[in-house]
């Protein structure tokens, strides 16, 4: 084969790969931005793009799951940076004043997202990769893990349930058209401390709150497992 023709074919091949890569990345960004604007109609394209790029950037930087970051953000602030809670939590991922000092960040979009990702990664590592405990620490503080005290806090159990519902929605948008380049998903399913208890309930209408919450835990594990498998297939 002519060397010149071979070189041309190689160049065309890599151009096609590059084009597909750019397209899929842009497609995922477009889907997530549209999702954010649905939940925060006042969000401009420019603001949404800024949020998206910072989540992806800091998720890569700290080797954490961007889908979980987006899920926490949606649950915490509905993608509204101006949100301030009654407890004083500020911004997209609702950092407390002491969090800004702890992680040495400010309350710009960039600083807030960076601090939020650092917060999640720290909680993830301190709980040895247990997602439920990570979310408990983020929402209520790790002190609530003692004697499973968090189970008695309705706000926290509802918080985990909401993220369980949001996660697969965002996962479908984020991984359907792209793979997370250069990002190592921090969530290791094998290390998650879920107890897959299956309680036989004859009458669904009489499901107890505890049983329902246990089912949500199992579903949450499966959602993240599916996400990891999807990411692996893309890679």
Count of other CB atoms within 10 angstroms of residue 97: 12
H helical segments located in the chain: 3-39, 45-61, 66-77, 97-102, 109-126, 131-140, 154-176, 209-234
In whole angstroms, how large is the CA radius of gyration of the chain? 20
What 3-state DSSP class applies to 161? helix
131-140 and 209-234 helices cross at what angle (nearest 10)?
110
Kindly give, in sequence order, each residue whose CB lies less than 8 Å from that of residue 188, ignoring residues fewer than 6 positions away: 129
The Cα–Cα gap between 86 and 101 comes to: 20
Reply yes or no on whether 76 is catalytic: yes
Q: Are 137 and 127 in contact (CB under 8 A)?
A: yes
Q: Given the residues 29, 76, 200, 203, select the one marked as catalytic.
A: 76
Q: Which residues are catalytic?
A: 76
């Amino acid at each position: 084969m002519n060397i010149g023709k071979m070189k041309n074919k190689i160049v065309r091949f890599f151009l096609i790969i590059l084009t597909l890569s750019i397209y899929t990345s842009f497609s995922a960004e477009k889907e997530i931005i549209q999702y954010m604007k649905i939940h925060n109609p006042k969000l401009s394209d420019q603001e949404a793009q800024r949020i998206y790029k910072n989540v992806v950037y800091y998720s890569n930087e700290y080797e954490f799951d961007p889908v979980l970051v987006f899920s926490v953000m949606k649950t915490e602030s509905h993608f509204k940076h101006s949100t301030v809670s009654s407890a004083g939590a500020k911004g997209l991922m609702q950092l407390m004043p002491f969090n800004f000092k702890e992680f040495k960040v400010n309350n710009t979009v960039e600083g807030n997202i960076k601090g939020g990702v650092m917060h999640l990664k720290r909680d993830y590592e301190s709980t040895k990769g247990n997602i439920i405990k990570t979310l408990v620490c983020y929402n209520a503080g790790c002190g609530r893990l003692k004697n499973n005290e968090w189970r008695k806090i309705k706000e926290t159990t509802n918080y985990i349930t909401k993220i369980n519902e949001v996660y697969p929605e965002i996962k479908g948008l984020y991984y359907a058209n792209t793979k997370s380049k250069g990002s190592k998903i921090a969530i290791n399913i094998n290390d998650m401390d879920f107890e897959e208890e299956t309680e036989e309930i004859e009458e669904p209408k009489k499901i107890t709150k505890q049983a329902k919450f246990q089912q949500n835990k199992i579903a949450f594990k499966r959602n993240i497992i599916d996400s990891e498998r999807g990411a692996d297939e893309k890679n």
